Amino acid sequence: MIYHEITFPSTFDPHRAWDYEGLQRDARFDQVMLSLDEPRAPNKGDFLIVADVDEIPRPQTLLVLRYCKFPRRLTLSSKFYYYSFQFLHTGPEWQHPQATYYQGHRTLKPTNLRNGDGGFRAFRFLKRGVLSNAGWHCSSCFPTIDQFLNKMVSFSHRWMNREEYRDKDKITAAVRQGKDLWGREQDKFLRIENNKDMPPLVPKEPSRFGYMMSRNGMSAGFLDYNGN
């Protein structure tokens, strides 16, 4: 694991929260990857995955990327879980993370890869593909309410952090019942008891990741909730 403190360019002029997010994504390439020396430096042809921490590729997917040829813009379509692996989103698969391969300075920037833009428009569609059921996305899968609230502060969508949504009892009830905290009609979840479809480490360490397997009980698996 490589730790890096982001350097803000003198030309950086943010107008939206998304601008900060884009800078942070691209810094992994511009400020880190291009400056690495052997043996940590990437080699041309190495596969790269641009993912958030809650987007986890399946082990089999990593083998496919390592040994098979794939398009320059590959979407690793993921099963979309919410709060834990007990609640599966009823909509389409989550269209992240993305994979590409290292080409030195010609490598696709993380933000362009994730957003599907950058480069010549005609080539974007010729060099793209989708690998279905390639991973797991577990959104808002937190062991504590404090972490849940912290995520809300960082939302680029500011309306989702209003005080009406920050009530701990309301959050716990939504997580326990598998309902969207913000009441969005498009976000419905299928409750799956004793689900086996999850990253292998989760069921191997139930004392550590129990909240990811089940949100049953009054606390909904939150370690810091003591309400009714």
Whether residues 178 and 192 fall in one domain: yes
Q: Are residues 21 and 96 in the same domain?
A: yes
Residues 179 and 200 in one domain: yes
Asked if residue 62 lies in contact with residue 107, where contact means CB atoms within 8 angstroms, the answer is no
Percentage of residues of the chain with pLDDT beyond 90: 80
pLDDT the model gives residue 158: 81
Q: Are residues 166 and 197 in the same domain?
A: yes
Report how far residue 61's alpha carbon sits from residue 66's, in angstroms, rounded to the nearest whole number: 9
131 and 150: one domain?
no
Give dist(CA 26, CA 15) in Å, integer.
17
Which helix H or strand E contains 65, and what residues bound it?
helix 59-67
Q: Are 115 and 66 found together in one domain? A: yes
Relative to beta strand 98-101, strand 189-191 is unpaired
Q: From CA 59, how far away is CA 29, in angstroms rounded? A: 24
* One domain, residues 40 and 128: yes
Is residue 187 domain-shared with residue 100, that is, in the same domain?
no
Give CA–CA dist 133/90, Å, rounded.
14
By residue range, what is the domain housing residue 74? 17-84+92-139
Looking at the domain assignment, is residue 228 inside a domain?
A: no
Is 155 in the same domain as 47?
A: no
Copy the structure tokens of residue 126: 């010729």
Q: Would residue 225 count as lying in a domain?
A: no
Look at residue 151 in the predicted model and tell me its pLDDT. Answer: 92
Both 155 and 208 in one domain: the answer is: yes
User: 49: helix, coil or strand?
Assistant: strand
- In this structure, the answer to whether residues 160 and 99 fall within a common structural domain is no
| Positions of the chain with pLDDT lower than 50, given as ranges | none
Asked if 221 and 202 count as a contact pair (C-beta separation under 8 A), the reply is no
Number of domains in the chain: 2
Looking at the fold, whether 120 and 192 belong to one and the same domain comes out as no
The DSSP element (H or E) to which 98 belongs, if any, is strand 98-101
| Ordered DSSP codes for 158-207 | GGGG-GGG--HHHHHHHHHHT--TT--TT--EEE-TT---S-THHHH-HH
**Cα(82)–Cα(192) distance, integer angstroms:** 11
Predicted local distance difference test score (pLDDT) of residue 228: 63
Residue 18's pLDDT is what? Answer: 81
Domain assignment of residue 135, yes or no: yes
Condensed to tens digits (0 to 9), the pLDDT of residues 39-88 reads 999 999 999 999 999 999 999 999 999 999 999 999 999 999 999 999 99
pLDDT value at residue 125: 74
